[in-house]
């Protein structure tokens, strides 16, 4: 039994996180498109940030729920070593995004927030994707490209680029992951 446990732990440590939810990604993309639409018509930076904060919480809930569903369906654990590596690789960029959001918002530079979010989410997904299926780091690179455009484009493009990134990329890559790697 000890040998089997050792083999199982070794295989788990070497594996990749495969419970990335394709369908969940598509649902996150759809809600992000709705959030971008609502945020575009918000009346203040505070309302805009509130809409996106709600979308963040919703996306996390969707991602975890669909990841758990996929892991259970595949007979694997959501709290496996590959999952922990995936999450831990994403955390520094997400933390940096939260901190920079507070700084930019407080200093009145909120038009820069979409670029920061798209860029750091791209870094986060690319880093986490090193422990996942190939489509994930590619999606991260696409976020970096859209974030680069957002950094250089007029601030009035922010909501459209957020819709393209958080909405469009999640829809497209969610479909690819669902098709090629299951739900």
pLDDT single digits (tens) 85-121: 878 888 999 999 999 999 999 999 999 999 999 999 9
Task: Give me the mean pLDDT over the 56-61 stretch.
Answer: 94
* Distance from C-alpha of 183 to C-alpha of 176, rounded to nearest angstrom: 10
* Distance from C-alpha of 28 to C-alpha of 112, rounded to nearest angstrom: 23
Tokens 């997400």 map to which residue? 94
pLDDT single digits (tens) 136-181: 889 999 999 999 999 999 999 999 999 999 999 999 999 998 888 7
Burial label for 156, CB within 10 Å (0-12, 13-18, 19+), is: exposed
* Residue bearing the bigger pLDDT, 47 or 131: 47
65, containing H or E segment: helix 45-73
- pTM across the whole model: 0.85
* Distance from C-alpha of 85 to C-alpha of 18, rounded to nearest angstrom: 12
């Amino acid at each position: 039994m000890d040998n089997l446990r050792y083999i199982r732990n070794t295989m788990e440590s070497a594996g990749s996180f495969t419970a990335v939810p394709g369908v969940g990604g598509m649902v996150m993309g759809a809600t992000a498109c709705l959030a971008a639409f609502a945020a575009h018509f918000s009346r203040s930076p505070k309302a805009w940030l509130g809409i996106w904060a709600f979308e963040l919480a919703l996306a996390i809930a969707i991602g975890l729920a669909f990841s758990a569903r996929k892991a259970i369906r595949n007979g694997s654990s959501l709290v496996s070593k590959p999952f922990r590596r995936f999450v831990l690789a994403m955390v520094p960029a997400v933390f940096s995004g939260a901190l920079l959001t507070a700084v930019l918002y407080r200093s009145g530079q909120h038009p820069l927030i979409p670029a920061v979010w798209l860029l750091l989410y791209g870094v986060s997904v690319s880093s986490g994707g090193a422990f996942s299926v190939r489509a994930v780091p590619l999606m991260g690179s696409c976020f970096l490209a859209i974030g680069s455009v957002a950094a250089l484009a007029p601030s009035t493009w922010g909501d459209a680029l957020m819709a393209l990134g958080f909405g469009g990329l999640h829809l497209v890559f969610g479909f690819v992951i669902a098709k090629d790697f299951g739900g």
